[in-house]
């Protein structure tokens, strides 16, 4: 099973929002990514509209619909109006993330001891809508059975600790935690996604050591690397790593 690549376009929208001229276009960039072979598009609409805006959600849902078999993943905190987007556009996947409204980026997974009971009816609602659910989780193997118990379909492993350890040249412990968490997830009947600070340098080792990852969602690094390689070529490079894993 090849790992799928979902391209997060938040940073494209961030750049566009610095001016009022409409460039770069998130829909044009989405088409470039999908035409290059990306398996999906990820967006994270936040209440302050710092990057993805309500109109972008609508427009990107229409773009994704032009490409058979491609998925739209809408992620965010369910208390920030996320479910209204899900009900309106019915993405393939909704990733629930425990970020605060003013948080710069996601930096931790759900604490299911504290939040599991609150998430359970939300996960049930997603299932009724026919939308696959994923919970953004730290690489803690002991938490994964609870994720299944409350009704999640998948988990997305938070990979920033691995990326930071890789950059230091000391990724072994972080990789082991991700591998154990992924195995615990599969044992519980959950699909495994991964994302956050994965890049062209560290993705291959991650996928080699954490097998059977269904999907990686990559945005910040991919958009930065596209400044050097071009967007379509960067997507192609990621796909080569994902398909080889």
pTM score > 0.85 for this model? yes
Q: What average pLDDT does this structure show over 182-188?
A: 98
pLDDT value at residue 76: 96
Instruction: Provide CB contacts within 8 A for 6, sequence distance 6+.
Output: 38, 39, 40, 41, 42, 71, 73, 215, 216, 217, 218
pLDDT value at residue 102: 63
Confirm if 80 and 37 have CB atoms less than 8 A apart. no
pLDDT value at residue 101: 63
CA-closest candidate to residue 155, choices 95, 115, 204, 196: 95
Q: What is the pLDDT of residues 57-97, one digit of tens each?
A: 999 999 999 999 999 999 999 998 899 999 999 999 999 99
Which residues does residue 224 pair with via DSSP β-bridges, in sequence order? none
The token duo for 79 is 């208390």
Lowest mean pLDDT: which of 79-88, 120-129, 230-239?
A: 79-88
Instruction: Provide CB contacts within 8 A for 143, sequence distance 6+.
Output: 109, 110, 112, 137, 181
**Three-state DSSP string of the chain:** CCCEEEEECHHHHHHHCCCCCCCCCHHHHHHHHHHCCCCEEEECCCCCCCCCCHHHHHHHHHHHHCCCCCEEEEEECHHHCHHHHHHHHCCCEEEECCCCCCCCCCCCCCCHHHHHHHHHHHHHHHHHCCCEEEEEECCCHHHHHHHHHCCCCEEEEECHHHHHHHHHCCCHHHHHHHHHHHHHHHHHCCEEEEECCCCCCCHHHHHHHCCCCCEEEECHHHHHHHHHHCHHHHHHHHHHHHHHC
pLDDT value at residue 81: 87
Q: How far is CA 131 from CA 7, 43, 92, 172, in A?
A: 19, 15, 6, 35
Q: What is the pLDDT of residues 218-231, one digit of tens each?
A: 999 999 999 999 99
Quote the CA–CA distance of 34 and 232 in Å, as a whole number: 9
The token duo for 48 is 């302050």
Is the model's pLDDT at 104 over the cut of 60?
no
Average pLDDT of the chain is 96
Domains of the chain, with CATH numbers?
A: 4-244 (3.20.20.70)
Confirm if 201 and 237 have CB atoms less than 8 A apart. no
Quote the CA–CA distance of 115 and 138 in Å, as a whole number: 14
Q: What is the pLDDT of residues 141-177, one digit of tens each?
A: 999 999 999 999 999 999 999 999 999 999 999 999 9
- Catalytic positions are 44, 75, 196
Q: Token match 């340098």: residue?
A: 201
CA-closest candidate to residue 142, choices 118, 111, 97, 121: 111
């Amino acid at each position: 099973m090849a790992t799928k690549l979902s391209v997060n376009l938040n940073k494209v929208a961030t750049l566009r929002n610095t001016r009022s001229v409409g460039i770069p276009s998130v829909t044009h960039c989405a088409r470039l990514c999908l035409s290059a072979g990306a398996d999906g598009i990820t967006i994270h609409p936040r209440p302050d509209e710092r990057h993805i805006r309500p109109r972008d959600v609508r427009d990107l849902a229409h773009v994704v619909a032009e490409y058979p078999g491609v998925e739209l993943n809408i992620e965010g905190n369910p208390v920030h109006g996320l479910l209204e987007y899900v009900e309106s556009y019915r993405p393939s996947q909704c990733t629930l993330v425990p970020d605060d409204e003013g948080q710069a980026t996601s930096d931790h997974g759900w604490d299911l001891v504290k939040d599991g009971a609150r998430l359970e009816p939300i996960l049930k609602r997603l299932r009724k809508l026919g939308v696959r659910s994923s919970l953004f989780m730290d690489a803690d193997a002991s938490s994964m059975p609870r994720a299944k118990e409350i009704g999640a379909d998948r988990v997305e492993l938070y990979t920033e600790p691995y990326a930071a350890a890789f950059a230091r040249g000391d990724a072994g412990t972080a990789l082991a935690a991700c591998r154990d968490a992924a195995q615990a997830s599969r044992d519980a009947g959950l699909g495994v996604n991964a994302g956050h600070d994965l890049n062209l340098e560290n993705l291959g080792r991650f996928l080699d050591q954490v097998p059977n990852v269904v999907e990686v969602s990559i945005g910040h690094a991919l958009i930065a690397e596209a400044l050097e390689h071009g967007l379509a070529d960067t997507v192609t490079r990621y796909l080569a790593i994902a398909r080889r894993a």
